[in-house]
Structure 1
């Protein structure tokens, strides 16, 4: 869904949380935004650790942490819980598009000037067509 809107993504499945792999820090420098998606508690999760390590390394790439809230959740099927807290591919993709377009915090880093206007127009026209 993101590729259809001209938004590239790199997926990383870390084998461990601590220590954060140096390759994650290197890749974060090269990307506009880092989004950590986990089906565990967001607070103190993988995204939190990645954010800390990026800041310690001087990497200013925006980081969004998506996961379960730190609160009691009513009992339900796993899919129902994930949908209720916004952990579905559709909701995540919608949020990423909004972040790339600068309409949702954290906002993705701007594209280099030569590509920004073209990519912004393409993404906006695509997102308007999918409403």
Structure 2
């Protein structure tokens, strides 16, 4: 319960830093630690608010963020406290929900906008928190859309998508769900763009899986 903040750089794929530097497993092993809050920002502006918020929260907090430049968004002058354990509904929708964590949020939003042009109504949730999850918002959209895609730059085993599946199982909510993330392997060296395409961490792959879910019986 010590009040300490872990700022975890290189969360996810790191490209040219080499295979030993990929942050593929941190969400999975950090979820096991009691009383530890786990957060991941969608961009550099949200990161500064998370760091500020972590100072206000009780107990240890881990904030994971990727290597590389930010999204290039404008920065707020004033720090804002993020409500503890609360996700951000970025886009409403009724056909399917994409729940993304960290820097995968913008890929999810891009996919949703492309699907919108094809007449699909897609909700996008920026989870912000891996632990605790925003159970109220997630369960609300699980019931509303009945179809969910989770997106993370972490191994699928024990990761963010696993946390969502556990929540749905515990609450006895039946939905169709697909998880997008890294496979159970040590990821090789390569540039970020190539690796993200290879492992499906792109808006194109999210859109493809969304269409498969939407067209399923």
Q: Normalising by structure 2, what TM-score?
A: 0.45
Distance, in Å, in 2 between the alignment partners of 1:46 and 1:73 is: 18
User: Which consecutive residues of structure 1, in runs of 5 or more, have no partner in the other structure?
Assistant: 103-109, 111-131
1:27-66 equivalent positions in 2, closer than 5 A: 27-66=141-180
Match status 1:7 vs 2:125: no
Q: Which has the higher helix share?
A: 1
Match status 1:100 vs 2:217: no
Q: Which has the higher strand share?
A: 2
User: Which consecutive residues of structure 2, in runs of 5 or more, have no partner in the other structure?
Assistant: 1-113
Q: Normalising by structure 1, what TM-score?
A: 0.72
Q: Which structure has the larger Rg over C-alpha atoms?
A: 2
Q: Offset at 1:35?
A: 0.5
Q: Offset at 1:91?
A: 1.8
Work out which of the residue numbers 133, 137, 141 in structure 2 matches 1:20.
Answer: 133
Q: 1:57-85, CA deviations, whole angstroms, 9 ceiling, x for partnerless residues?
A: 12101121100112022201111111001
Q: 1:73-117, CA deviations, whole angstroms, 9 ceiling, x for partnerless residues?
A: 220111111100111111220121122111xxxxxxx6xxxxxxx
Distance, in Å, in 2 between the alignment partners of 1:18 and 1:50 is: 10
Structure 1 segments of 4+ aligned residues over 6 angstroms from their partners: none
How many residues are treated as equivalent by the alignment? 103
